[in-house]
């Protein structure tokens, strides 16, 4: 498997777009399947009051009218410089793939389980993700690159994750998704002249959906505290680092987009880590020490390995393959060093549910 997703050919037609969405690397969004039976055994009684409050929010559906374009949308679409254009298209395809990944997974869980409360939750979350994916796909269609989502669902590879990995990974991807969208939204709120596409105006209310999805997974994990203790602490460390590192390396492959928004990819990454770490104190008994100097050094080293890997792939042949193996080993060692850095431990708060306050 590739570690990187850079050095790609330009996206020019729907076939290119679906091929990009199907791409399977360590950095591209995946589709998941799991052991559905385990969901029927979830006991939510210890968080019932907070659960009911979040479910009432889903039912109220305050974003039901949000994912529709306003009159200004079309006028705000402008021609972008070629490098920015391609990075933005790649961003749209990768965002679409991860939104649709949630939609497919939540729908599948809903269909396969009996647990009435979790079933209802999955229906609400699939509803939201389907709106998100649809809105992104519409933006791709403006460029003639709409993805056939039915075909993507049938043909993309699925990764099996145990339910507990689904909880850790999905919780984090919802919360980091919130942190990413809100950080971009706030930046462009301060600098509207840097908003190169109208879709960013939708991010504030959009990311509140993601925040709420994360709340639901936080409640599920807090109601089943075995998921947050003992050897599982090592899994939490692993998923925190994997999610942070993937985002950091991938964002560093989109320099034009960050420059256009006036964001330094490293500073942006660390702001997103700070928000995500603060939020995740509601459920995880530990967080990564993102201020440790070796943490930043390690992430920058991972970016360098990813660039070397791209160069090795472009070179090809026997030497290229040997170089790729060398880069893979270097990146793995670098990841292991990051994994073993000291973490910050903390007590869990009595109340789980928090508000999106960033």
Q: Are 263 and 187 in contact (CB under 8 A)?
A: yes
Residues counted in the chain? 358
Q: If you write DSSP's letter for every residue of 270-337 in order, what string do you get?
A: HHHHHHHHHHHTTT-SEEE-TTSHHHHHHHHHHHHHHHHHHHHHHH-HHHHHHHHHHHHHHHHHHHHH
Residue 212 lies near Fe ion (rule: CB under 5 A): no
What radius of gyration do the chain's Cα atoms show? Answer: 20
| CA–CA distance, 206 with 251 (Å, rounded to integer) | 20
Least Å distance, CB 209 to Fe ion, is: 6
Specify the 3-state DSSP secondary structure of 227. Answer: helix
Identified binder of Fe ion from the candidate list 180, 195, 212, 213, rule CB under 5 A: 213
- Residue closer to Fe ion by CB (options 87, 129) is 129
> Contact region for Fe ion (CB under 5 A) — 8-16, 37-45, 128-136, 239-247?
128-136
Q: How many CB atoms lie within 10 A of CB 143?
A: 16
- Residue closer to Fe ion by CB (options 122, 286) is 122
Identified binder of Fe ion from the candidate list 5, 50, 90, 210, rule CB under 5 A: 210
Least Å distance, CB 242 to Fe ion, is: 18
Least Å distance, CB 63 to Fe ion, is: 10
Identified binder of Fe ion from the candidate list 90, 99, 271, 310, rule CB under 5 A: 99
Q: Are 247 and 353 in contact (CB under 8 A)?
A: no
Least Å distance, CB 59 to Fe ion, is: 17
- Residue closer to Fe ion by CB (options 50, 210) is 210
Beta bridge partners of 288: 343
Q: If you write DSSP's letter for every residue of 183-201 in order, what string do you get?
A: HHHHHHHH-GGG--SGGGG
x/- mask, Fe ion, residues 169-188, rule CB under 5 A, reads: -----x--------------
Q: CA angle 178-182-185, nearest 5°?
A: 145
Residue 108 lies near Fe ion (rule: CB under 5 A): no
Residue 215 lies near Fe ion (rule: CB under 5 A): no
| Total site size for Fe ion, rule CB under 5 A | 6
Least Å distance, CB 177 to Fe ion, is: 6
Residue 132 lies near Fe ion (rule: CB under 5 A): yes
- Residue closer to Fe ion by CB (options 66, 119) is 66
| CA–CA distance, 156 with 29 (Å, rounded to integer) | 11
Least Å distance, CB 62 to Fe ion, is: 15
Residue 131 lies near Fe ion (rule: CB under 5 A): no
Least Å distance, CB 284 to Fe ion, is: 18
- Residue closer to Fe ion by CB (options 137, 324) is 137
User: Which pair of tokens denotes residue 233?
Assistant: 């602490």
Strands (E), 6-135: 31-33
- Residue closer to Fe ion by CB (options 99, 271) is 99
Site for Fe ion, rule CB under 5 A: 99, 129, 132, 174, 210, 213
């Amino acid at each position: 498997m590739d570690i990187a997703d850079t050095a790609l050919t330009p996206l020019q037609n729907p076939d290119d777009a679906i091929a990009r969405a199907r791409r399977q690397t360590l950095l591209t969004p995946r589709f998941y399947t799991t052991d559905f039976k385990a969901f029927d055994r979830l006991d939510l009684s210890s968080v019932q009051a907070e659960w009911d409050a979040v479910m009432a929010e889903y039912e109220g559906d305050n974003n039901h009218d949000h994912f529709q374009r306003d009159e200004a949308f079309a006028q705000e679409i402008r021609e972008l410089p070629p490098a920015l254009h391609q990075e933005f298209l790649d961003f749209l395809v990768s965002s679409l793939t991860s939104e649709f990944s949630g939609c497919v997974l939540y729908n599948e869980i809903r269909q396969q389980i009996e647990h009435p409360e979790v079933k209802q939750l999955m229906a609400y979350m699939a509803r939201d993700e389907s709106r998100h994916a649809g809105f992104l796909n519409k933006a791709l269609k403006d460029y003639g690159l709409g993805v056939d989502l039915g075909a993507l669902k049938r043909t993309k590879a699925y990764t099996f994750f145990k339910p507990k990995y689904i909880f850790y990974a999905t919780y984090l991807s919802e919360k980091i998704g919130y942190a990413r969208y809100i950080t971009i939204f706030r930046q462009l709120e301060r600098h509207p002249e840097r908003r190169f596409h109208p879709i960013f105006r939708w991010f504030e209310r959009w990311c509140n959906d993601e925040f709420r999805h994360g709340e639901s997974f936080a409640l599920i994990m807090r109601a089943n505290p075995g998921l947050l203790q003992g050897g599982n602490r090592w899994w939490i460390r692993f998923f925190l680092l994997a999610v942070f590192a993937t985002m950091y390396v991938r964002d560093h492959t989109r320099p034009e987009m960050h420059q256009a928004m006036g964001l330094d990819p490293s500073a942006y990454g660390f702001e997103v880590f700070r928000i995500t770490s603060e939020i995740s104190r509601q459920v995880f008994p530990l967080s990564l020490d993102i201020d440790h100097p070796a943490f930043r050094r390690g992430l920058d080293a991972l970016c360098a390995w990813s660039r070397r890997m791209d160069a090795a792939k472009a070179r090809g042949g026997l030497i290229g393959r040997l170089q790729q193996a060398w880069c893979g080993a270097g990146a793995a060692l670098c990841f292991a060093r990051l994994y073993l850095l000291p973490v910050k431990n903390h007590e869990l708060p009595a109340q789980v549910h928090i508000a999106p306050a960033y």
